[in-house]
Amino acid sequence: MGKVTLRNLAAHKIRLVLTAVSVILGVAFVAGTLIFTDSMNKQFDELFSRVGVNVAVDVRAEKIVDGDDDGMAAQPVPESLLATLRGVEGVKNPTGNVNGYAAVVGKDGKVIGTPQNGPPQLGVNWTGGESYDLASGRAPQGPGEVVVDQRTAEKGDLSVGDTVRVLTQGPPQRMRIVGLADAGNLMGATLTAFDTPTAQRLMLRPGYFSDIEMASSGPSQAELRDRVAKVLPDGLEAVTGEKLREEAKSDIAAMMNFFRTFLLVFALISIFVGAFIIFNTFSMLVAQRTRELALLRAVGAARAQVTRAVIGEAVAVGIVGSTLGLLVGAGLATMLQSQVGDAGDGGLTFTVTPVIWSYVVGVVVTVVSAYFPARRAAKIPPVAAMRDDVALPQRSMRIRVALGSLLTLVGAALIGVGLTADGGNAVVPVGAGAFAVFIGVAMLAPVISVPVLRVLGAPAARLLGSPGRLARQNALRNPRRTAATAAALMIGLALITTVNVLGATMRASVDDQIDSQFGADYLVSSQGAAGVAAGVERKVKAVPGVASASTVYQGDAKIAGKKAPYVSGDAAVIAKAAKLKIVSGGTAIGPAGIMVDEDSAKKNGWKVGSAVPVTFTDGKTERLTVAGVFAKSDLIGSRLVSQQAYLRHTVNPTVDAILVDAAADNPASRSALQTALSDHPDLEVLDQAALKEDVRKEVDGFVTFLTILLVMSVIIAAVGVVNTLALSVIERTREIGLLRAIGISRRQLRRMIRLESIMIALFGAVLGVTIGVAFGAALQNALADKGLGVLAVPYGTIGVYLVVAAVIGVLAALWPAWRAGRMDVLKAIATE
């Protein structure tokens, strides 16, 4: 039977190559994701191996708020502690570090790097340690000198001796570059180094460090840590250098694991779609080889042998597809690296993991998809070899309809349960529910296809005559095959439509929130991590035409024992700017007050006058009095803390935004503000329209990214349409010969096949967009209380997808139609 398998592979090369394409694309996504994340993990390991390599113990502020890794918000370490640490036995070279935000402005007037949602812009004090080496120039020695990393200098066209603007939390600084640092691959981050006094003044406060690190002159890290801990004041802790590096690595590992899982989800979607194509292809191959397989049974082949022969073909397709998919995956990983800028400059890292998973996924999916057609082949009776009109038996649709209906209902229920769950608990039921719905609809598709295809094919049948009528009849002839082909396209377009409905809903909801909740004329905000620089508020107030300007802060604290974000500032101004609806109390919160929304008040049993314990990042706890309760606000969140309380407990206050009211809201006012802030290229002046546009850009970028990832599944589905049509043409060789014999022209024949392809593609698209809109509406309904209050369906985009589906049908039919048109009429008629 091994020879039979090899002969069949050689006899059906084109058909199996098309099937292998589905495997290649799916495996490529898996392999590319694994190779990319392995490569990035190796680069991060190399980066962290250079940082703090000789640090035995590090002294830092205790983390009061879980997850607070922002050194600018944490309690600083006093410089005077250095003398104490030098007196601890075993401590060697204690060195204070200053870490914060610092960005360099290039010669083009733009901030170097991508601060918003991108790699950090690091500001440090130059310590002369082993973390960074000087590539040229010298170390900074005064308040007007700075060192930048080589990559930042290249991006900004800067060199030693140039004067640059440096942005920090304070006013912009004019400084001279005195050296370039070889910092290795900072994964897209930028590095700016000052002398220690300057770094303290600009990024922290004079006389303080972010942390103090030290080496050991003999004791183990754990022993030295215990010795150091005994001399530390309250609020500070000592950790080993090993733990410090592990914390940094674990944070990165968690991020990369999430990214890997995120990409693998889309890879699995592509493989899921490919499974439909493989199943369809092997089902058609088995149907076309009924007599051949029956003859094998007649000459003595057992059922198991026939099954193994078909499975053997699947294994061969899986191995070839997995091998090529692994190679394509390496190219995909290279492309992904090119999209992450400097972070992808370290080259690819190849491990055994992508290889193993590529073959496991490719071969297993192919074999599983081919298993049921193989079993069907084994059931062909030997007597079938003696008949010309033998056909594989078809099961009744009743079981299929019942099971499909059950799966669809169960899937919908699981999605509903998942969407009402909290946090990560939603992922498994939603994913399982979506999978069940897709399988259920795919099982119901043969029944659905009959009425839908009659409607879709009616215009062609009426307007295009015989080719149109024949195309509709061909699409309806085998509903199972048509449904299996269309199901692959359905899945891809369903997910793309869901993403687009969700994106349109997010845009519409944000527009509604801004219209109903944003009452200020302008918002001055920063693209950088450090927020709006100190002194900007004074500049804004000095602009002619500005009636008022008020700062808004953001922070994290433990409120009633749980970590919670909050905003702070002038409560009356923020309430007016956010159009808060006061339910009880008022905005006069004083130096020790807090305002909360209705949900928080109800959940915690708070009312006006209640005392709320709040633990700030400096470790101190203060009981704030509830001064007012307001209706839900998506713009400011659930808590508004007294500005005085925020400033009392924050070492380095960070202005999140400035609310501006102008005497006259017109383009001249905004232009005047932009001119006044020209020294701060990291700041934006936004009115209502610009704020909406900013949000739309972020949403559109996210939707586009997801859509691109899902396009792979649509490409696989298109390959499936090509494969089905090509096999269908071969299956109908004699029929096509007869059509040509009775007078149908080559042009009409090609038109018939193109129309059939378009109908199949449109059927899949109609199913897909219908399910996608339903999924999107379900998501919006479940998340209505979390900011998605307005359902929006992008009808124009959906229309474009239907047109694209029709184009896919035309393109998919080109080769099968060309092949059908070239058939020799007499040979076609003589085909058995």
Tens-digit pLDDT profile for residues 383-436: 655 555 545 555 667 888 888 899 999 988 888 887 776 655 566 788 788 888
Q: What is the pLDDT of residue 190?
A: 85
- The residues near 412 (Cβ < 8 Å, ≥ 6 apart) are 433, 437
- The residues near 259 (Cβ < 8 Å, ≥ 6 apart) are 37
Q: Do the beta carbons of residue 659 and residue 573 sit within 8 Å?
A: yes
- The residues near 669 (Cβ < 8 Å, ≥ 6 apart) are 521, 522, 545, 546, 662, 663
Q: pLDDT for 697-713, tens place per residue? A: 888 888 888 888 888 78
- Burial zone of 300 (CB within 10 Å; 0-12 exposed, 13-18 middle, 19+ buried): exposed
Residue 663: CA atoms inside 13 Å, Cβ hemisphere, count?
9
d(C-alpha 506, C-alpha 516), whole Å? 15
DSSP state for residue 149 in the 8-state scheme: E
- Per-residue burial over 713-742, b if 16 or more Cβ lie within 10 Å, else e, is bbbbbbbbbbbbbbbbbbbbbeebbebbee
Residue 57: CA atoms inside 13 Å, Cβ hemisphere, count?
28
Q: Do the beta carbons of residue 566 and residue 589 sit within 8 Å?
A: no
Cα-based angle 144, 148, 151 (whole degrees, multiple of 5): 155
In the chain, DSSP finds a helix count (H) and a strand count (E) of 24, 24
Strand order in the sheet with 236-240: 91-97, 211-216, 57-61, 236-240
Cα distances (angstroms) measured from residue 522 to each of 203, 525, 678, 684, 688: 28, 10, 16, 10, 7
Where helices occur in 677-794 by DSSP H, the ranges are 688-731, 733-741, 746-782
Q: Is the dihedral of CA 129, 131, 135, 139 positive or negative?
A: negative
d(C-alpha 798, C-alpha 816), whole Å? 28
φ, ψ of residue 625 in degrees (nearest 5) = -95, 130
Which three-class secondary structure state does DSSP give residue 422? coil
**Beta strands 121-125; 133-137: pairing state:** unpaired
Residue 725: CA atoms inside 13 Å, Cβ hemisphere, count?
32
d(C-alpha 205, C-alpha 337), whole Å? 39
Residue 89: CA atoms inside 13 Å, Cβ hemisphere, count?
3
Provide the strand spans (E) within 184-248.
190-194, 208-209, 211-216, 236-240
Residue numbers of the chain with a pLDDT score lower than 70? 1-16, 18, 46-52, 65-74, 114-119, 129-131, 184-188, 251, 287-291, 339-346, 383-396, 421-427, 528-530, 665, 731, 826, 828, 830-832
Torsion on CA atoms 687, 689, 690, 694, rounded to nearest 10: 130
Q: Do the beta carbons of residue 370 and residue 282 sit within 8 Å?
A: yes
Q: Is the dihedral of CA 131, 133, 134, 139 positive or negative?
A: positive
- Output the pTM of the full model: 0.80
Torsion on CA atoms 461, 464, 465, 466, rounded to nearest 10: -90
- The residues near 392 (Cβ < 8 Å, ≥ 6 apart) are 286, 287, 290, 376, 380
d(C-alpha 275, C-alpha 580), whole Å? 53
Q: Do the beta carbons of residue 242 and residue 443 sit within 8 Å?
A: no
Q: How many CB atoms lie within 10 A of CB 707?
A: 17
d(C-alpha 810, C-alpha 760), whole Å? 11
d(C-alpha 791, C-alpha 502), whole Å? 8
Query: DSSP per residue over 199-225, as a string?
Result: HHHHHS-TTEESEEEEEESSS-HHHHH
Residue 313 tokens, joined: 């073909």
Chain centre distance of CA 459 = 41
- What number of residues does the chain have? 832
Q: What is the pLDDT of residue 246?
A: 82
d(C-alpha 168, C-alpha 175), whole Å? 12
Q: Is the dihedral of CA 480, 482, 485, 486 positive or negative?
A: negative
- Per-residue burial over 212-236, b if 16 or more Cβ lie within 10 Å, else e, is bbbbbeebebeebbebbeeebeeeb
Strand partners, 593: 625
Q: How many CB atoms lie within 10 A of CB 653?
A: 18
Residue 406 tokens, joined: 């059950």
Q: Do the beta carbons of residue 523 and residue 659 sit within 8 Å?
A: yes
d(C-alpha 587, C-alpha 575), whole Å? 7
Residue that the structure tokens 């700062």 belong to: 551
Q: Do the beta carbons of residue 251 and residue 108 sit within 8 Å?
A: no
d(C-alpha 172, C-alpha 165), whole Å? 6
